[in-house]
Chains A and B, each alone.
Chain A
Amino acid sequence: MSRHPLTFQVLAQCKTTKAKCSLMTLPHHVVETPVFMPVGTQGSLKGIIPEQLEQLNCQIMLGNTYHLGNRPGPDLLESCGGLHNFMGWPRNLLTDSGGFQMVSLLDLAEITEEGVKFKSPYDGSECLLTPERSIEIQNAIGADIIMQLDDVVSSTVSGPRVEEAMHRTTRWLDRCLKAHKRPESQNLFPIVQGGLDPKLRTESAKQLMEREVAGFAVGGLSNLFSGGEGKDQFWRMVHLSTDLLPNDKPRYLMGVGFATDLVVCCALGCDMFDCVFPTRTARFGCALVDSGQLNLKLKLFGQDFRPIDEKCDCSTCRRYTRAYLHTVATIETVACNLITVHNVAYQLRLMRNIRESIMNGTFVEFIFNFMDTMYPKKDFPVWATDALRAVNVDLIDRTKEQNPDS
């Protein structure tokens, strides 16, 4: 019997990679993993209504504590029974701690043992986000999964600061656990830190695993996505973290969302993902397809009378053409709704295909097909090739028997 309002049942394990397909039960709904969680920053997924998300079978989405903590604020959310009620979303919510956004959005954030000190963007007054305050706000919001306040350090930083942040994250986890007033309805996840140092990551995971929690997040890696060297270090830390973290609890890789990243990180053993990319790129008129993105604003789509994706069954692709979307992309707000619906459908379908292939024991073939479609010139990113090789999938020499023992 789980001590937390979360159960996690592994349904199938890939025999080659570390991927697995599982069923996670949370207070509001079940979640099939691996899962991609779209981000609804301020209490709504920009431009679409909850019913459309339900139709797409989205089972869990994100809200941002930093924004919601300011507007409408925890008191209002508490008084109306939480964010679920407020925004009319009957399924699961996950909130972050507010720390990451503070550090990235605010110029003068200063981190001390107490918490994160910053100047309010509204009236310039000095504010302090402590682990206790973060949990208090998240308790009021009422999400099914809440995140600890971590001492988040940019992965470009090295030296003693990284170690300090790693230890402090553990101390802040304990403070969060103590301050958590609703453990029977909200699951608090810790966040593994340690920058790019394998020793520190290992130590972080070890410490966090000594606490009684329902799942784990892997943090501090999401700003390494601008390709090249960064991505190489990124996948190694993910690979290390999933080796350390238990298999019978969900592993949430924060801030990961491009299609290739999702496929590879599933292979590396992650179960949960979130990213603003699909919804943000939709607002700029870009639609996601298996070969990348279509920038529908380009004139070349003016007389392209096909749907975004002939194989897509979302409401946008069943009714609207690229040519029409070209006329309204970034001009009429309805385009935002239409392309967002498609992009969320795309991401969720990708995850569904991943899950199905794991269940059928065909995940490796899936990876090959996916990569071939995304990189028709076979110019696979080096980091992806290396990462997959680490879990026994060789993109280059496919004749090699894909066997963990070879």
Chain B
Amino acid sequence: MKFTVSLVAKSSARLGSLSEFTRIPEAVLETPLLFLHTRGAAVPHLSYDLMQMVSTENHILQMPLVTLVDHTKNVKAFGKGIAEFAGLKEYLNYVSVQDSGTTTPEGYHEKNSISLWTRGGRKLIDPQTYITCIEALKPDMFQAIVDGDTTSNSSVKRVRRSVDDTVKFAGICADLKEKSEVLKDTPMLACITGGYNIKERLRCITELKGLGVAGYVLEGFHTNGESATNLSWEDLEPVLTETLGSLPDNLPRAFHGPVTPIILLKLVSKGIDIFDATFPWLVAERAGALIFPNTLPKGKAPITETLPSVKSPALIAQNERDGSLGNENNKDELVDRVFEINLKDKLYFNDTRPLVEDCSCYCCRKYSRSYVHHLSATSELQGPILLMMHNLHHYINFFRSIHLAIREDQLQALHSTLEQFVTSRRSGKLDD
């Protein structure tokens, strides 16, 4: 695999490409890049045919081992790798450790192994077993096994330990990879951990020097799932600045997890090259359709309708604590829905408009909000299918806009458009 940086913006944002993958040599993927998140080697709700209706371009599928480890024996017997096993050999694939879209329970780190929470329960995986699994899956790229079990609340001792183990694991992986006929030429991404402790982050980078890696994954800032949606940029930024400043420019940097579009843009500005589509998935799971402006402003306001206001979750939590709200708000509502509309809302019962005006996705070309509301209200499987198709389409276009913005030095304008959108949705009476 080859990573080429073609342009660096005034911020540290980079435009680049991943290419020269052995299995699909003609594929060239532009960065910042959106990996398509999968579970059980399938994009949630979408079979190959439906994926093709969303996009016919080349994509890389992100395949968390945690959703595959129960079946590696069968994939091994199949012999041709997970992509073909899952009927998706047209796509490149990257095996990661955890499912960045699903919260990983904290506190289950072990001395020489990590915990993978599968359907059957907790599985302990050491680096040797990990590499054996990767050999069975034969991915086009994979992540080194990592102890990323830290958050902003973690103790120094925990953070230090996560760095020690991550470095140790990386060494073993690199060693085994070199000796493996199957994996010796497969690009591996090493993980930088260290929580929110700059010193530990830099130590991690130093101790990983010399390891032949194809790029880096910045782990240890969250424990996946909703915890990635609630990142504090204030806490994150200084650590990122130092960390990225010490990494070589010529290797790609990945940040896994369902970060919000605004955090995503900030991460792009800092020099992150690879993200995943877990955010659009989580939104679809809660019957949400993404509507945030995903293109550069072209003069007129991107969204002309008055959307329902969305309080910030922090505000809701505050109100719950001092009792100024009724008890209709449950834990669900602590999720920030400012980037989406909630199709379960009765508001959309007879709304004949598409999810997003001028959206060219399959769902918006064909169906009304009213129909999607009906599917959501009756828990029909077609609901999440249509929402996933729309949300992925919306996000893929978002990434196109990001490329354009970097090229034309308009990243700040894209960012402002998004900030303005969020501000306008936050205003509105509390007892709406």
B426 contacts chain A at the CB level, 8 A cutoff = no
Stretch at the interface among B43-51, B237-245, B306-314: B43-51
Name the distance in Å between A205's Cβ and chain B's nearest Cβ.
Answer: 37
Determine if A327 is an interface residue (Cβ-Cβ < 8 Å): yes
The segment from B175-183, B216-224, B246-254, B372-380 that touches chain A is B372-380
- Tell me the smallest distance from the CB of B86 to a CB of chain A, in Å: 6
A218 adjacent to chain B (CB < 8 Å): no
Confirm or deny: B3 has a beta carbon within 8 angstroms of a beta carbon on chain A.
no
State in angstroms the CA–CA spacing of A51 and B385 once bound together. Answer: 13
The answer to whether the Cβ of B384 comes within 8 Å of any Cβ in the partner chain is: yes
A-side contacts of B370, CB under 8 Å: 72, 76, 80, 86
Q: Complex: how many Å from CA A100 to CA B99?
A: 45
Of B70-78, B205-213, B265-273, B335-343, the stretch lying at the interface with chain A is B70-78
> Is residue B367 contacting chain A, with contact meaning CB distance below 8 A?
yes
With contact pairs A46-B380, A46-B381, A321-B87 given, residues A334 and B45 touching in the complex (Cβ less than 8 Å)? yes
Q: Determine if B421 is an interface residue (Cβ-Cβ < 8 Å).
A: no
Complex CA distance for A338 and B47, rounded to whole angstroms: 7
- B46 engages A334 (CB within 8 Å): yes
- Chain B contact residues, CB within 8 Å of chain A: 39-50, 53, 70-71, 73-74, 77-78, 85-87, 119, 349-350, 352, 362, 366-368, 370-371, 374-375, 377-378, 380-382, 384-386
User: A220 an interface residue at 8 Å Cβ cutoff?
Assistant: no
- A-B residue pairs in contact (CB < 8 Å), sample of 28: A42-B380, A43-B375, A44-B380, A49-B382, A67-B378, A71-B377, A71-B378, A72-B349, A72-B370, A76-B349, A76-B370, A88-B367, A302-B73, A315-B48, A323-B78, A324-B41, A324-B87, A327-B70, A331-B40, A333-B44, A333-B384, A333-B385, A334-B43, A334-B45, A337-B45, A337-B47, A337-B50, A341-B47
CB distance from A299 to the nearest CB of B (A): 10
On chain A, the residues within 8 Å of B350 by CB distance are 76, 79-80
Closest to B90 in A: A319
Determine the distance from Cα of A7 to Cα of B361 in the docked complex, in whole angstroms. Answer: 38
Q: Is the CB–CB distance between A49 and B40 below 8 Å?
A: no
CB pair A328–B349 under 8 Å, yes or no, is no
Tell me the nearest residue of chain B to A87, going by C-beta.
B371
Given the contacts A71-B374, A87-B371, A337-B50, A47 and B382 also touching, CB distance less than 8 Å: yes
Say if the beta carbon of A107 comes within 8 Å of chain B. no
Smallest beta-carbon distance A21→chain B, Å: 31
Chain A residue at minimum C-beta to C-beta distance from B86: A324
Q: Give the Cβ gap from B345 to chain A, nearest Cβ, in Å.
A: 14
Which of chain A's residues 297-349 have a Cβ closer than 8 Å to chain B?
Answer: 302-303, 305, 315-316, 319-321, 323-324, 326-328, 331-334, 336-338, 341
A52 within 8 A of B: yes
The CA of A315 and the CA of B352, in the complex, are separated in Å by 32
In the complex, the chain A residue whose C-beta lies closest to that of B39 is: A332
Beta-carbon contact of B71 and A327 below 8 Å:
yes
**Is there contact, CB below 8 Å, between A334 and B47?**
yes
Output the least CB separation between A338 and chain B (Å). Answer: 6
B-contacting residues of A (Cβ < 8 Å)?
42-44, 46-49, 51-52, 67, 71-72, 76, 79-80, 86-88, 302-303, 305, 315-316, 319-321, 323-324, 326-328, 331-334, 336-338, 341
Which residue of chain B has its CB nearest to the CB of A44? B382
Chain B residues lying within 8 Å of A316, measured Cβ to Cβ, are 47
- Is B119 a contact of A47 with CB atoms below 8 Å? no
* Residue in B closest to A315 when the chains form the complex, CB atoms: B49
The chain B residue with its CB closest to the CB of A79 is B350
Q: How far is the CB of B274 from chain A (nearest CB, A)?
A: 24
Cβ–Cβ < 8 Å partners of B50 in chain A:
49, 337
User: Chain B CB within 10 Å — which of A76, A319, A327, A328 has the most?
Assistant: A327
User: For B43, what are the chain A residues with a Cβ–Cβ distance below 8 Å?
Assistant: 334
Contacts of A79 in B (CB 8 A): 350
For the A-B complex with A43-B371, A44-B380 known, give 11 more contacts whose Cβ atoms are closer than 8 Å: A43-B380, A46-B382, A49-B362, A72-B349, A79-B350, A86-B368, A315-B47, A315-B49, A320-B87, A327-B71, A341-B47
Residues of A within 8 A of B85 (CB): 321, 323-324
Q: How far is the CB of B421 from chain A (nearest CB, A)?
A: 29
Contacts of B380 in A (CB 8 A): 42-44, 46
Q: How far is the CB of B412 from chain A (nearest CB, A)?
A: 39
- Contacting residues, chain A, for B53 (C-beta < 8 A): 51
Whether the Cβ atoms of A334 and B44 lie closer than 8 Å is yes
On chain B, the residues within 8 Å of A51 by CB distance are 53
Bound-state CA distance A31–B55 (Å) is 33
Distance to closest chain A CB from B278 (angstroms): 15
- Are B352 and A80 neighbours in the complex by a CB distance under 8 Å? yes
Q: Which residues of B sit under 8 angstroms from A321, Cβ to Cβ?
A: 78, 85, 87
Contacting pair A332 B40 (CB below 8 A): yes
Interchain CA distance A79-B368 in the complex, whole Å: 13
Query: CA A245 – CA B226 in complex, angstroms?
Result: 62
**CB-defined contacts of A319 to chain B, threshold 8 Å:** 48, 87
Write out the residue numbers on chain B whose beta carbons fall within 8 Å of the beta carbon of A72: 349, 370, 374
- From B40, B371, B386, A86 is in contact (CB under 8 Å) with B371
A320–B84 Cα gap in the complex (Å)? 9
Q: Which residues of B contact A334 (CB under 8 A)?
A: 40, 42-47
Q: Which residues of chain B have C-beta atoms less than 8 A from A328's C-beta?
A: 40-42
> What chain A residues lie within 8 Å of B47 (beta carbons)?
315-316, 334, 337-338, 341
Give chain A nearest CB distance to B283 CB in angstroms: 16
Assuming A86-B370, A336-B381, is B40 touching A327 (CB within 8 A)? Answer: yes
Bound complex: CA A86 to CA B362 (Å): 15
Q: How far is the CB of B312 from the nearest CB of chain A, in Å?
A: 31
How far does the Cβ of A285 sit from chain B's closest Cβ, in whole Å?
13
B178: min CB distance to chain A, Å: 30
Query: How many angstroms from the CA of A356 to the CA of B41 in the assembled complex?
Result: 39
- Return A381 CB to nearest CB of chain B, in Å: 33
Given the complex, which residues of A lie within 8 Å of B374, measured CB to CB? Answer: 42-43, 71-72, 86
Least CB distance from B137 to A in Å reads 12
Q: Shortest Cβ distance from A49 into chain B, in angstroms?
A: 7
Q: Which residue of A lies closest to B352 (CB)?
A: A80
Rounded to whole angstroms, the CA-CA distance of A204 and B411 in the bound complex is: 75
- By beta carbon, the residue of chain B nearest A316 is B47
Give the complex CA separation of A336 and B70 in angstroms.
20
User: Min CB distance, A208 to chain B, in Å?
Assistant: 34
Report the minimal beta-carbon distance from A283 to chain B, rounded to whole angstroms. 8
Write out the residue numbers on chain B whose beta carbons fall within 8 Å of the beta carbon of A86. Answer: 368, 370-371, 374
Q: Across the interface, which residues of B come within 8 angstroms of A332, CB to CB?
A: 39-40, 42, 44
* Chain B residues, CB < 8 A from A76: 349-350, 370
Of A52, A302, A326, A333, the most chain B CB neighbours within 10 A belong to A333
A30 to B71, CA, bound (A): 45
By a CB distance below 8 angstroms, the chain A residues around B362 are 49
Instruction: Tell whether, in the assembled complex, residue B78 and residue A305 are in contact, meaning their CB atoms are under 8 Å apart.
Output: yes
A337 to B42 alpha-carbon distance, docked (Å): 12
Min CB distance, B360 to chain A, in Å? 16
Return chain A residues, CB-CB under 8 Å to B70: 327
Most B-side CB within 10 Å, residue of A43, A49, A79, A341: A49
Contact of A323 among B74, B349, B375, B382 (CB under 8 A): B74
- A42 touches which one: B73, B86, B366, B378 (CB < 8 A)? B378
Closest chain-B Cβ to A31's Cβ sits at a distance in Å of 23
- Contact present for A80 and B382 (CB under 8 Å): no
